[in-house]
Amino acid sequence: MAAARAAPPRRPRLLLPLLVTLLLPAPSDGFGPSAELAFAVEPSDDVAVPGQPVVLGCRVEGTPPVRITWRKNGVELPESTHSSMLANGSLLISRFQLDQGGSPSDEGDYECVAQNRFGLVVSRRARIQAATMSDFHVHPQAAVGEEGGVARFQCQIHGLPKPLITWEKNRVPIDTDNERYTLLPKGVLQITGLRAEDSGIFHCVASNIASVRVSHGARLTVSGAGSGAYKEPAILVGPENLTLTVHQTAVLECVATGNPRPIVSWSRLDGRPIGVEGIQVLGTGNLIISDVTVQHSGVYVCAANRPGTRVRRTAQGRLVVQAPAEFVQHPQSISRPAGTTAMFTCQAQGEPPPHVMWLKNGQVLGPGGHVRLRNNNSTLTISGIGPEDEAIYQCVAENSAGSSQASARLTVLWAEGLPGPPLNVQAVSVSPTEVQVSWDEPLVNTKEIIGYVLHIRKAADPPELEYQEAVSKSTFQHLVSDLEPSTAYSFYIKAYTPRGASSASAPTLASTLGEAPAPPPLSVRVLGGSSLQLLWEPWPRLAQHDGGFKLFYRPASKTAFTGPILLPGTVSSYNLSQLDPTAVYEVKLLAYNQHGDGNATIRFVSLRGASERTALSPPCDCRKEEATDQTSATGIVIGIHIGVTCIIFCVLFLLFGQRGRVLLCKDVENQLSPPQGPRSQRDPGILTLNGAGRGERGQLGRDGKRVDAKELEQLFPSAGAAGQPASRPNPRPTDPGAHALWEETRLSMLPLQGFGRREEMALEAKAPRTGPAAALPPQEVGPGLLSEGQAPWPSATPAAQPACSGQ
């Protein structure tokens, strides 16, 4: 059982001089009528002894008269014989007591409250707790050691304030001057270089202002000298994880054994230097850091090294240093005209990062209305200030290590003779984008009004997003336009004079009328020969108004649509499959809501090109690609050789080709002349290229299938001339040069499907034709042998003439 010992005589507490100091009134010199209301002394946390007096300090500076009161746990503390307020505002609890016999306990959080005609401020919270001492929950244990070895005892006990731990051997206090005895503040006794006279019974003694307690005894037995055999270095006890507050002392324990005796060293896991200021080694390897700061936080590594070798053992512990909240930027008192915006800013730091809150005349101030908090509550914005906003605002920063507060005053400047607020403000929605706002002029001081300013914002937006519109002084209504449909808006108005603005009118709300949605942007992607993917932007607001999308599609040659396909407003794509790969499709997408269907977005798309490309480019063989990747190095080498060879042949081909072309151009000009005769006998290729003969123009495609005329006009508007009725005369110039330009114009209007095999045409252009070869049938001089802009005869080739004109 733990033995109880009478508390030692306490040192006299300097209460009487403190009381005399606190009872003296605070000096008022140097504080004029403009002095801000602020705390010169604030209460601090304390531990009280039951039955003893407690004083909580508080001193306030500011414009008199100043009224001071106290709160306990947020409730105003009434005057009584048990607790009373001193002359300077400090609180005296004559006899601190716990909860006994129905009387309330004096433990709790206390705040000093000061108020004058400008506002009210509240001090930081001070926590008062009763001094206590628990029983030992860890007693020292018996130990056996060899001479020259190490012994360690430990005890643990909780108390307020933190108990002071000392040790006794055989009921006699241990001599702390003995370098072999190390006492750590956390209740650890280390004995190094053990000797026979160290044997005995050890007790742990814990004391504070509440009590003194003695632990169980633990016997230490020291045996004879060790064998002297080699022993690997080992760490018996390593550093523990610690959480401290700045300015406290950190004790990182490290006890190592081994033969020979290991060397103990310390380092930080992050590689930063530990430093030397405030650092000391206690005993054979304990690290002591005095007056810790946040920079001391980190993981510390204790290493036990065998002398002369790299053999080592390590242990580590984390040190966390907390810092109470403190301000790096205080809010500043400001004066602002009525109707403007006031802003306070405070920046606080601490570890962990503090939480910031605001008080208005001692009451918690939250966001809402014309009050806005931003930047993690570090910025307070008050828009459209009025007389009711004139107050003292406090920024309170608090974390687990402590709290701090700073205050500032807002003064609202109010000119005499300003008009009152506009009356009877009403807002009526007249369209999906317009609201009519009307009002009556103020009751007083209306002669100097120079105009009105209407303040507008969405009801869901913060006040700082509002905008204003100016209105003439003779106008008592205003049409607000460019609004969003089906949206609620807030309106209020102020009257302006040369001396300032009136107070704001009462705000009014109005919602714009709804309307059908706008056409959605639509894009189409061809996935294959028979599939389309439709893409558009999702409109989540449609779901809020019972809306969505409607999708229709059809082949362009048919009159009936497939659909509607109903899609929710959150969907942004849809796939159409099993389509006719030879058809042109018309796709229509529209958005709808409770007000009806919006205009549709229409797209035409052809699948014919996609199906042909799919046939020409079959899907890849992935296994084949994998095999190719395995021989990629060989392929790269071969490809380089092939590429170099191709470049050489191309250069030679260009050089010899250019020389032959110069000689051939003159020969072609001399030997070939424009053929004469009726058109029907000399340009069958052009007729074939345009789709058919004069009587069948617009009826046949390149593959011989019949093509709808409307479909051609939709897909190829430039081919409209080719699809005109045969009865329409086609003017034909008689000049040979104009004839070539006319032929080029006709060919440039044709769809690209009509062109191909340009390499063969290039060979044909170099060889002059004579005799029957100049009048080949259509299947031999058809579109496969013609390139864009080229006539059927070499002399009429528009591309060939400029090349030869320079000879």
pLDDT digits (tens, 9 = 90+) for 258-297: 888 899 999 999 999 998 888 988 888 899 999 999 999 9
Dmax (CA) for the chain in angstroms is: 141
Q: What is the pLDDT of residue 122?
A: 94
Identify the residue with better confidence: 186 or 207.
207
pLDDT for 331 beyond 50: yes
Residue 355 CA to residue 411 CA, distance in Å, equals 27
Return the bridge partners of 555, or none: 585
Number of alpha helices (DSSP H) and beta strands (DSSP E) in the chain: 11, 57
Q: What is the pLDDT of residue 212?
A: 95
Say what angle helices 622-630 and 632-671 make with each other, to 10 degrees: 100
Contacts of residue 702, defined as CB under 8 A and 6 or more positions apart, other chains included, come to: 753, 754, 783
Residue 355 CA to residue 348 CA, distance in Å, equals 9
Taking residues 717-724, what's their average pLDDT?
42
pLDDT in tens, 287-297: 999 999 999 99
Identify the residue with better confidence: 416 or 460.
460
> Is residue 679 a contact partner of residue 793, using CB atoms and an 8 Å limit?
no
Residue 275 CA to residue 439 CA, distance in Å, equals 73
CA angle 138, 139, 144 (to 5 degrees): 125
Comparing 454-468, 514-528, 627-641, 711-725, which segment has the lowest mean pLDDT?
A: 711-725
- Please say whether the dihedral angle defined by the alpha carbons of residues 649, 655, 658 and 660, taken in this order, is positive or negative: negative
Return the bridge partners of 255, or none: 237
Comparing 120-134, 247-261, 371-385, 629-643, which segment has the lowest mean pLDDT?
A: 629-643
Give how far Cα 755 sits from Cα of 394, 413, 690, 702, Å: 82, 83, 11, 10
pLDDT for 467 beyond 80: yes
Q: Which contiguous run of DSSP H or E holds residue 641?
A: helix 632-671
Comparing 12-21, 242-251, 486-495, which segment has the lowest mean pLDDT?
A: 12-21
pLDDT for 608 beyond 60: yes
CA angle 440, 445, 446 (to 5 degrees): 45
pLDDT in tens, 63-80: 999 999 999 999 999 888
Residue 330 CA to residue 346 CA, distance in Å, equals 5
The three-class DSSP label of residue 317 is: strand
Contacts of residue 241, defined as CB under 8 A and 6 or more positions apart, other chains included, come to: 317, 318, 319, 320
Taking residues 204-228, what's their average pLDDT?
89
At 165, give phi and psi (nearest 5°). Answer: -105, 125
pLDDT in tens, 480-514: 999 988 889 999 999 988 888 888 899 999 999 88
Rounded to the nearest angstrom, the gap between the alpha carbon of residue 242 and the centroid of all alpha carbons in its chain is: 33
Taking residues 411-437, what's their average pLDDT?
90
Taking residues 542-555, what's their average pLDDT?
83
Kindly provide the residue ranges of all beta strands, DSSP E only, lying in 117-154, ordered along the sequence. 119-122, 126-130, 132-133, 143-147, 150-154
Q: Which residue is it, tokens 């054994």?
A: 257
Residue 437 CA to residue 432 CA, distance in Å, equals 15
> Is residue 145 a contact partner of residue 220, using CB atoms and an 8 Å limit?
yes
| 700: amino acid identity, one letter | L
pLDDT for 236 beyond 70: yes
Q: What is the pLDDT of residue 634?
A: 56
Beta strands 212-214 and 3-4, pairing class: antiparallel
pLDDT for 156 beyond 90: yes
Comparing 91-100, 372-381, 609-618, 703-712, which segment has the lowest mean pLDDT?
A: 703-712
Q: What is the pLDDT of residue 637?
A: 61
Q: What is the pLDDT of residue 201?
A: 96
> Is residue 280 a contact partner of residue 184, using CB atoms and an 8 Å limit?
no
pLDDT for 157 beyond 60: yes
Residue 324 CA to residue 322 CA, distance in Å, equals 7
Q: What is the pLDDT of residue 363?
A: 92
Contacts of residue 543, defined as CB under 8 A and 6 or more positions apart, other chains included, come to: 568, 569, 570
Q: What is the pTM of this model?
A: 0.56
pLDDT confidence of 766, banded at 50, 70, 90?
Answer: very low
Beta strands 532-536 and 500-501, pairing class: unpaired
Q: Provide the Cα torsion 409, 410, 414, 420; round to 10°.
A: -130
Beta strands 584-593 and 596-597, pairing class: antiparallel
Return the bridge partners of 122, or none: 113
> Is residue 256 a contact partner of residue 263, using CB atoms and an 8 Å limit?
no
Contacts of residue 114, defined as CB under 8 A and 6 or more positions apart, other chains included, come to: 37, 39, 58, 60, 62, 66, 67, 68, 89, 120, 121, 123
pLDDT for 377 beyond 90: yes
Over its C-alpha atoms, the chain yields an Rg (Å, rounded) of 49
pLDDT for 674 beyond 50: no
Return the bridge partners of 147, or none: 225
Q: What is the pLDDT of residue 368?
A: 83
Q: What is the pLDDT of residue 434?
A: 94
Q: What is the pLDDT of residue 635?
A: 57
pLDDT for 367 beyond 80: yes
Prior bond to 777 cis, omega within 30?
Answer: no
> Is residue 794 a contact partner of residue 768, using CB atoms and an 8 Å limit?
yes
Taking residues 541-554, what's their average pLDDT?
82
Q: What is the pLDDT of residue 737?
A: 43
Q: What is the pLDDT of residue 735?
A: 44
> Is residue 606 a contact partner of residue 752, using CB atoms and an 8 Å limit?
no
Q: What is the pLDDT of residue 259?
A: 84
> Is residue 294 a contact partner of residue 323, using CB atoms and an 8 Å limit?
yes
Q: Classify residue 743 by burial, with Cβ atoms within 10 Å: 0-12, 13-18, 19+.
A: buried
Q: Provide the Cα torsion 48, 49, 50, 52; round to 10°.
A: -90
Q: How many other C-beta atoms lie within 10 A of the C-beta of residue 534?
A: 22
CA angle 147, 150, 155 (to 5 degrees): 130
Percent of the chain with pLDDT over 90: 44
pLDDT for 772 beyond 80: no
Return the bridge partners of 606, or none: 584
Strand order in the sheet with 363-365: 334-337, 402-413, 391-399, 355-360, 363-365
At 695, give phi and psi (nearest 5°). Answer: -85, -15
Give how far Cα 411 sits from Cα of 117, 288, 329, 414, Å: 12, 52, 20, 9
Structure-block tokens of residue 717? 């508007």
